[in-house]
Structure 1
């Protein structure tokens, strides 16, 4: 009987040997730099040790030199640029765009809802005045006919406005529910949809990663837009969003040498400053404070210039045996002190 067993595919064997060799290099490197063992990180470091993409290797080497590790956000961005499937990235971008659209619609509805409520109050006031004129016994029949007609029309408008306000509230609830579903469906989005900054999830991951591997000299800057609620109340949420975008751009433009800007929550931002010191981080915060102070914005609805954008800052430096939570609490305490002392300032006073 002749041997019909197919000969091993030499090409496949070579690929397996290459894969095994790369993994033997990649895994110890990941352990050395305390890189989480996720599929994304495996793929990135597999490509890195393969040394087939010089630009990837240069970017990774620069990152390792700057942080003594590869922070989660940096790893994700390198993966997206050099390793990921474009289809996968399209899906992520689509979900992020949907989230941004939902947020914009929610704010538009909230502003319109407020305008409708104010209009309804005015209609109610006119309705009462017209009824008072009639009760005062104006004798001219033509005037009374006009008054009755106006009262009837005002009542109709009032009912219509009340119904419209109810519909807006219902639609706003549906938009909020959509935002929650979008957030739940995409847990690995790194960027804030409104401002383009890194988001809170990215901040938490980076802070933990840096403090676990190379915490010395790490500084945290927390910034909060002063009197932000007044922008929303006086000019509407759309202009409030524009204020956040302007502040975010000013802050991200100042990020160099490994510094990153995150939208920490609401009108609050965070900057991680690696391998630095309190004096340098405080100088950066002061420069940002002065830059934000110069920002201007035009309210097209009222044809008014907005030049009252200000921000307060709290700056803290990591100390030995300090946890991530304790570092955040230290910066937050200083931010609160800046607010208490009158806002538009950096604390501590000296680095």
Structure 2
């Protein structure tokens, strides 16, 4: 039986490997920081969202149509994570993604992972009213899915929704995503399975006239 040294750097990493159940796990040498090879590179999910947002912005600006961004966030995520663990969270998110995706009205729309426990939908040429109706259908489908969550008074997993709509013009801006993120946080402050909508089109027009 291998003896584990209980002092010094080698002993520290041996104990960490043993705790992780990965005796051959690679660990950094003493004094080396465990950093990404390219610290400026965005996480994969964030990059996909950024790419979709840029494409959507360009498409809408060229055609003078609206761009809707919808964010969906797992309600009571921290409590669910503490009670059920990461594996259950990932399984739930997989089931939720599989529920949302078939409801998207166009093949070009994608349900993209966003943050720790959410999704974002970038929807070019989507009227605000239709986005509201889509949010309602998604909420109903999630209720029907019925994933158990004992940490919620609803007894099941729910998601809150934020929608932001804008008329893209000129240089690409991320404000529509930022506003959708703010909207879903506001919705969650009001409860669970809530919807908050932000229409930026009036603000955009006033800002352009002022400029």
For normalisation by structure 2, the TM-score amounts to 0.66
2:160, 2:193 within 8 Å by CA — same for their partners in 1? Answer: yes
Q: Cα distance, 1:183 vs. partner?
A: 9.2
Residues 262 and 269, structure 1, Cα contact 8 Å, conserved in 2 = yes
Q: CA separation of 1:269/1:175 partners in 2, compared to 1, >3 Å: closer, same or farther?
A: farther
Assess if the C-alpha contact under 8 Å between 2:148 and 2:157 holds in 1.
no
The change in CA–CA distance for 1:230 and 1:272 in structure 2 (over 3 A counts) is same
Identify which of 124, 132, 136 aligns with 1:282.
132
Give the 5 Å matches for 1:96-111: none
Cα RMSD of the aligned pairs, angstroms, is: 3.7
Aligned equivalent of 2:182: 333
2:7 corresponds to which residue?
none
SS for the counterpart of 1:223 is strand
Compute the displacement of 1:188 (Å).
11
Is the Cα–Cα contact under 8 Å of residues 295 and 307 in structure 1 kept in the other structure?
no
Contact 2:148–2:156 at 8 Å: present in 1 too? no
Instruction: Report matched runs for 1:89-168 at 5 Å.
Output: 167-168=18-19
Using the TM superposition, give the Cα deviation of residue 290 of structure 1 relative to its aligned residue in structure 2, in angstroms: 1.9
The structure with more helix, counted as a fraction of residues? 1
User: Is 1:217 the equivalent of 2:63?
Assistant: no
Alignment partner, residue 91 of structure 2: 242
Segment of structure 1 superposing worse, 331-340 or 288-297: 288-297
2:184 match: secondary structure: helix
> Is the 2:59–2:124 contact (alpha carbons within 8 Å) kept by the matching residues of 1?
no
Determine helix, strand or coil for the equivalent of 2:121.
strand
TM-score (norm 1): 0.41
Note the C-alpha offset of 1:336: 1.4
Partner of 1:308: 156
Contact 2:160–2:194, Cα closer than 8 Å, also in 1:
yes
Aligned-residue offset at 1:286:
1.7
| Cα-to-partner distance string for 1:71-101 (whole Å, 9 max, x where unaligned) | xxxxxxxxxxxxxxxxxxxxxxxxxxxxxxx
| Aligned pairs, number | 169
Structure 1 residues 207 and 233 mapped into 2: Cα distance closer, same or farther (>3 Å)? same
The 1:312–1:225 alpha-carbon spacing in structure 2 relative to 1, beyond 3 Å, is same
Spell out, residue by residue over 1:220-272, the C-alpha distance to the aligned partner (whole angstroms, 9 max, x if none): 00110001222221122211111111111111121232322110121021001
Q: Which runs of 5+ in 2 are unaligned?
A: 1-13, 29-33, 200-211
Cα offset for 1:307?
5.0
Q: Does the CA contact (< 8 Å) of 1:220 and 1:315 recur in 2?
A: yes
Q: Find the aligned partners of 1:202 and 1:239 in 2 and give their Cα distance.
A: 24
Gaps of 5+ in 1: 1-162, 191-198, 300-305
CA shift in 2, pair 1:234/1:171, >3 Å: same
